[in-house]
Structure 1
Amino acid sequence: MRAVVSRLRRTLRETSGTSDLTPSQTAVLSRLINDGPASASALAAAERVRPQSMAATLAVLEQHGLVGRRPDPEDGRRRLVDLTEAGLGLIADSRQAREEWLAREMEERYTEAERATVLAALALLDRLNRR
């Protein structure tokens, strides 16, 4: 199961149009879209990396124009990292490309009964994530 999920994730990542980004960079973008703006130290803690590693990741994302920094409204000494319009666009385009690829492949490769089986299996697997 792990091997199949890993191959599917790899294929989805290749389909997404973010292949020039590392998994760490993509994880930061996903975290920002899901959780909102955060400090570099909070991102480092959430991703379980050293602050120096997060600084390097954020520097690349800033060079690509995908994230920016702004003062924290609650603490002016601290800066928050947030997605730029380009970052939001990249995430939206990436998600759309993955969803379209998956829908097309499911439609072309599986019968209606097989799609129903896949959906049933996903519901069972989803229970593994619920605690």
Structure 2
Amino acid sequence: MRDGEIERLRTQLKLLQQRLRREALPVPGVSLTAARVLGASVRLGDGASPRKLAEEARMTSSNVAAALRELERAGLVAREQDPADGRRVLVVVTEEGRSVVAARRRERDTWLGRAIGELLDEREQEILVAAGELLERLAGYEPPASGPAGGTLDRQK
């Protein structure tokens, strides 16, 4: 792919991600930052540390701490002591927190399903499924530890 094609693909993916975020229901009583931390908590599963949540949500520890206080006040998460190390804190998502995240995901999926059904014919939908598999492979790519740091992306097939 040429540099311009890669840039266009990145922009297209970004636009879709932004639209999916807009289609998600707001979480009543909590900020967007707190909603991100709640989603990260569900993805990581019960017992995640605040540090792991910060890594998953790509946020600073202080922002995660503030979001956790907000989520606790809303009854969406609880903090518990680590039974193996009482100095550590683990985050547990409440049932209400799980249902909020599930509702947001359903809303996004409903919008995406409607858009796919109304805009794409059967052949295009098959192409989209194949493209999704390719995107999943790309997401898992880890570059080799050695080798040139730079290099050109301007290649043709």
Taking a change above 3 Å as real, the CA distance of residues 46 and 96 of structure 1, as seen in their structure-2 partners, is closer
Identity percentage of aligned residues:
36
Equivalent AA in structure 2 for residue 101 of structure 1: W
Deviation at 1:55, TM superposition (A): 1.3
Match of 1:107 in 2: 117
Normalization by structure 2: what TM-score? Answer: 0.71
Greater helix share, structure number: 1
Match of 1:15 in 2: 23
Residue 42 of structure 2 is aligned to residue 33 of structure 1: yes
Taking a change above 3 Å as real, the CA distance of residues 47 and 106 of structure 1, as seen in their structure-2 partners, is closer
Aligned residues: 130
Residue 92 of structure 2 is aligned to residue 95 of structure 1: no
Find the aligned partners of 1:27 and 1:15 in 2 and give their Cα distance. Answer: 14
Deviation at 1:61, TM superposition (A): 1.8
Backbone CA RMSD of aligned residues: 2.1
Deviation at 1:46, TM superposition (A): 4.7
Which has the bigger relative contact order, CA under 8 A and spacing at least 6? Answer: 2
1:78 counterpart SS class: strand
Equivalent AA in structure 1 for residue 39 of structure 2: S
Find the aligned partners of 2:41 and 2:109 in 1 and give their Cα distance. Answer: 20
Normalization by structure 1: what TM-score? Answer: 0.82
Find the aligned partners of 2:59 and 2:131 in 1 and give their Cα distance. Answer: 33
Deviations 1:19-74 (A, max 9, x none): 6632x433322322122222223433554544322211212222222211122121
| Higher Cα Rg, which structure | 2
Match of 1:4 in 2: 12
Structure 1, unpaired ranges of 5+: none
| Further displaced range: 66-75 or 10-19 | 10-19
Find the aligned partners of 2:12 and 2:116 in 1 and give their Cα distance. Answer: 15
Structure 2, unpaired ranges of 5+: 1-8, 142-157
Residue 123 of structure 2 is aligned to residue 128 of structure 1: no
